[in-house]
Chains A and B, each alone.
Chain A
Amino acid sequence: MITKQTLGMYKVFTRGGDATRATHYCAGCGHGIINKLISEALAEMGLQDKAIMVGPVGCGVFGYYYWDCGNISAAHGRAHAVATGVNRVLHDSVVLSYQGDGDLGAIGFNNAFQAASRGEHFAAFFVNNATYGMTGGQMAPTTLLGMETLTSPLGRSAQHDGYPLHVCEVFNQLAGPVYIERVSVADSTRILKAKKAIRKAIEIQRDKKGYAFVEIIAPCPTNMAIDAIKSAEFCMTVMEKEFPLHCFRDKSAEALPREEAPTPPDINTFFAADQTLDVPAALTDDSFGEVRLKFSGFGGQGILSLGHLVADAARLERRFTSWFPTYGPEQRGGAAACSVVISGKPIGSPSVDTPDVLVCMNQPSYEKFVGSVVPGGTVIVDATVTRTIEPPAGVKLVVMPAIDLSTQLGMPKAANTLMLAALSKYGVSRLKRESLLTIMANNFRKKPAFAEKNLALFEAGEKSVANT
């Protein structure tokens, strides 16, 4: 007989398939009490519309049969990650998660730990009954030493299975949480304290103050194979020795509410303001054909940015263009190379295996790539490279003293600008000098002094080419 309607719960539970007023929990189980304490707190605070409960996998999985608020059912162990996803996009909601000891303490521990560490804005309710209830009573991270379960039939052994996990104590090492308390629902005095803790955790959400964690010791008579009273006694006499009831932290008074970000700019205005060159789209020009270039050298020589500059200049001339770098450990290992294609039509392969133009600033890349240059092509190589191999027949060789000259002129890191000058002077990229210089100037737009120096270097490079 129903004497009083539970606040915050549906009047009749229909989501399980049958219209019933009874929960699915076993007699003497702690979940039913905890479900009720949460729903009453939400109802009393008038938060049911705002509340979103993220449920677990385990005995608590069917909480959504009962809670009259928004409900989301997460994967096993993932309620903290799911609740993170919710609270990050709904700042005005009251987000709650509900997980058991296997769900939170084992499979989902890192998700819970990290969310707590980040101080996510939700209240986490952690039901500790020292066992996996729903799957039939296996060992949980919180199972006590000596306790017999289906997967510790001889009793949990410290040597073999390790020790019970104290989640509150672990979380208390983190700076993120605002509130951490361990309570119990084993008797009426404890239930009243649990009610206060649950209410506080929800108030913290209402006030947008951050992460609240409440561990609740709960009896599981079915899996302990004892009656409800003995099970509650076990919680109070045995479990509390391992898991003492305690408020580990309460910073709810001093915690500041979450700040909202200022109104953002318009998206088009934002992207127009980043000062990369906005040029019209490429035009098809069948007469242009295609130029395929490869740039190579050591990392730090500005190889990738040299290729990038050339590709960007091609864009300025409304050519189709692509730039593709080496990446990953190869790049970090010191070798840098990139492929640039400049074309009068949409580009097929962006990877240049047989270049028309090879720009080479070190020995290994010269040896690696020089044989791949097509007949009629050009190799521009730094003068410091010892040419043990000659380029293939019909390939023009240009030796540029880029490293020496840039060092001589006091800009050793700008040798790539001299290679660019050679590329420009020989006309092999088929791009206009002014296009290359426009991009160079734009690249240095935030450092006008560098822009001037590099222009001077570029001109010195041109002169050096003219004199050879």
Chain B
Amino acid sequence: MTKFIKGNEAVVIGALYAGADVYFGYPITPASEIAHAAADWFPALGREFLQAECETASINMMFGAAAAGKLAITATSGPGMSLMQEGLSYMAGAELPGVIVNIMRAGPGLGNVYPEQADYNQAVKGGGHGNYQCVVLAPASIQEMCDFTQRAFALSCKYRTPAIVLSDGLLGQMMENLILPQSIMPRPDLQAWAVAGTAETRKNLVSSIFLNAPEQELHNQRLQAKYDSMRPDAAHETYLCEDAEVVLVCYGISSRIARTAAETLRSEGVKAGVFRPITLNPFPAEALCKTLVGRKALAVELSCGQFRDDLLMHLAKEGKRYQEVALVNHMGGIVMSVEEIVAAAKKLR
């Protein structure tokens, strides 16, 4: 079955086919269509939808539903995402699954409602207090808005940590053809730790408190080992990289524009390719290092260089080497043009 729908709506279809039990959310442009579609479709399919009083409430309702062993999703944009950091830290600390969709808009502060990718560090580096990580997936099409929402649920349950679908206003608002999933994903068994109001789960406790410092350290060490174990799920995609002299490194909507730029560059005699991380955490660092050997690199992003700086860190840490990574970017809600990427890539030769 196919549908011509908005990215924001595709998220809800992904969530429903992932078996999501409940949607909690607070309206915010440019993410509101997710709440609209969820308000229509969740109750119609016997799932729960609730508009929360604020994003702090949304994420704590997520905490409650997840603690009860149910699959919960919420969606928001920058200002709301900032409010959710408290709950994300608690969910990570208590090892609860759940999916948070961030349809990024320009900031800081109120900013505006146009696409930016400036919540990169917030998503990838934890964002709230304490040593924790979320799984972060970066879709680049309407199909992936649906598919990655499903994958986010699977990874979130597998690693018992929140998963963020990091998207932006352009992907949220645009429409493309979506091929719907064929069936609902198998339900993970969460009863071993959930507090589900049953005799079997009566003994369970969901908490992020370790009053004793050595126990808290042990918990942290265990969390870090868990995050390290996520690496096999790192995913990426390359386009025209085999013989490339310049590699455009980018995620999400930027990678769509870079794709066109790589084709344009090739038509103008520059062998360009695209390296696109699909998971921003775990990051496909090994693949990035291999792809960039002997090639010029250009980061393409809708933020100040947060992503480029992270690439430098990954290259240094994984490749044990320093490599220049140039930057072409926009901030403030302006999407870079193909021509700007082409010009920046040509400068590297």
Residues of A within 8 A of B (CB): 15-17, 48-52, 54, 61, 64, 68-75, 78, 81-86, 88-90, 92-95, 110-111, 114, 261, 263-265, 267-268, 270-272, 276-282, 308, 311-312, 315, 320-325, 327-329, 346-351, 353
Contact check, B3 vs A327: say whether CB atoms are below 8 A apart.
Answer: no
Are A114 and B57 CB-contacts (below 8 A) given A49-B202, A350-B174?
A: yes
Stretch at the interface among B219-227, B256-264, B280-288, B318-326: B256-264
Contact check, B256 vs A347: say whether CB atoms are below 8 A apart.
Answer: yes
Contact check, A72 vs B64: say whether CB atoms are below 8 A apart.
Answer: yes
Stretch at the interface among B130-138, B204-212, B308-316: B204-212
Give the docked Cα–Cα distance between A110 and B62 (Å). Answer: 17
Give the docked Cα–Cα distance between A88 and B263 (Å). Answer: 50
- Tell me whether B335 is interfacial, beta carbon within 8 Å: yes
Contact check, B256 vs A315: say whether CB atoms are below 8 A apart.
Answer: no
Q: Using Cβ atoms and an 8 Å threshold, which residues of chain B touch A263? A: 46
Give the docked Cα–Cα distance between A270 and B208 (Å). Answer: 40
Contact check, A75 vs B53: say whether CB atoms are below 8 A apart.
Answer: no
Give the docked Cα–Cα distance between A315 and B86 (Å). Answer: 43
8 closest residue pairs by CB, A with B: A85-B64, A93-B197, A348-B260, A264-B46, A81-B60, A85-B61, A70-B195, A73-B207
Q: Using Cβ atoms and an 8 Å threshold, which residues of chain A touch B337? A: 353
Give the docked Cα–Cα distance between A339 and B257 (Å). Answer: 14
Q: Which of A85, A90, A270, A282 contacts B24 (CB 8 A)?
A: A85
Contact check, B21 vs A89: say whether CB atoms are below 8 A apart.
Answer: yes
Contact check, B54 vs A69: say whether CB atoms are below 8 A apart.
Answer: no
Contact check, B57 vs A281: say whether CB atoms are below 8 A apart.
Answer: no
Q: Using Cβ atoms and an 8 Å threshold, which residues of chain B touch A271? A: 1, 3, 13, 180
Question: Which B residue sits closest to A113, measured CB to CB?
Answer: B53
Residue with the greatest number of chain B CB neighbours at <10 A, chosen from A51, A85, A279: A85
Q: Which of A64, A90, A272 contacts B197 (CB 8 A)?
A: A90
Contact check, A49 vs B67: say whether CB atoms are below 8 A apart.
Answer: no
Contact check, A265 vs B45: say whether CB atoms are below 8 A apart.
Answer: yes
Q: Which of B86, B173, B209, B257 contacts A324 (CB 8 A)?
A: B173
- Tell me whether B148 is interfacial, beta carbon within 8 Å: no
Known: A278-B2, A329-B113. 14 other contacts (CB 8 A): A50-B198, A64-B207, A70-B202, A73-B207, A78-B86, A85-B68, A261-B46, A264-B45, A268-B1, A276-B4, A311-B175, A325-B173, A328-B30, A349-B338
Are A322 and B175 CB-contacts (below 8 A) given A85-B61, A265-B45?
A: yes
Question: Which A residue sits closest to B62, measured CB to CB?
Answer: A85
Give the docked Cα–Cα distance between A69 and B90 (Å). Answer: 21
Question: Which B residue sits closest to A71, measured CB to CB?
Answer: B205
- Tell me whether B65 is interfacial, beta carbon within 8 Å: yes
- Shortest CB-to-CB span from B171 to chain A, Å, is 9
Contact check, A72 vs B202: say whether CB atoms are below 8 A apart.
Answer: no
Contact check, A315 vs B68: say whether CB atoms are below 8 A apart.
Answer: no
Tell me the total A-B contact number using a CB cutoff of 8 A: 230
Q: Which of B17, B29, B180 contacts A328 (CB 8 A)?
A: B29
Contact check, B2 vs A71: say whether CB atoms are below 8 A apart.
Answer: no
Contact check, A348 vs B257: say whether CB atoms are below 8 A apart.
Answer: yes
Give the docked Cα–Cα distance between A280 and B258 (Å). Answer: 27
Q: Using Cβ atoms and an 8 Å threshold, which residues of chain B touch A64? A: 205, 207
Q: Using Cβ atoms and an 8 Å threshold, which residues of chain B touch A73? A: 94, 205-209
Residue with the greatest number of chain A CB neighbours at <10 A, chosen from B24, B50, B87, B205: B205
Question: Which B residue sits closest to A89, measured CB to CB?
Answer: B70
Tell me the chain B residues, 231-263 only, with Cβ under 8 Å from chain A.
256-261, 263
Q: Using Cβ atoms and an 8 Å threshold, which residues of chain B touch A94? A: 197
Q: Using Cβ atoms and an 8 Å threshold, which residues of chain B touch A272? A: 1
Are A90 and B68 CB-contacts (below 8 A) given A85-B61, A315-B4?
A: yes
15 A-B residue contacts at CB 8 Å?
A61-B209, A71-B207, A78-B87, A82-B61, A82-B67, A85-B66, A90-B197, A94-B197, A111-B57, A114-B53, A278-B3, A281-B179, A315-B4, A351-B170, A351-B257
Are A81 and B196 CB-contacts (below 8 A) given A264-B46, A272-B1?
A: no
Q: Using Cβ atoms and an 8 Å threshold, which residues of chain B touch A95? A: 197
Contact check, A81 vs B209: say whether CB atoms are below 8 A apart.
Answer: no
Contact check, B2 vs A324: say whether CB atoms are below 8 A apart.
Answer: no
Contact check, A350 vs B197: say whether CB atoms are below 8 A apart.
Answer: no
Question: Which B residue sits closest to A83, measured CB to CB?
Answer: B64
Q: Using Cβ atoms and an 8 Å threshold, which residues of chain A touch B21? A: 89
- Tell me whether B44 is interfacial, beta carbon within 8 Å: yes
Are A92 and B197 CB-contacts (below 8 A) given A84-B64, A321-B176?
A: yes
Contact check, A324 vs B197: say whether CB atoms are below 8 A apart.
Answer: no
Residue-wise, chain B 12-48 has the 8 Å CB interface mask toward A (1 for contact) of: 0100110001101000011000000000010111111
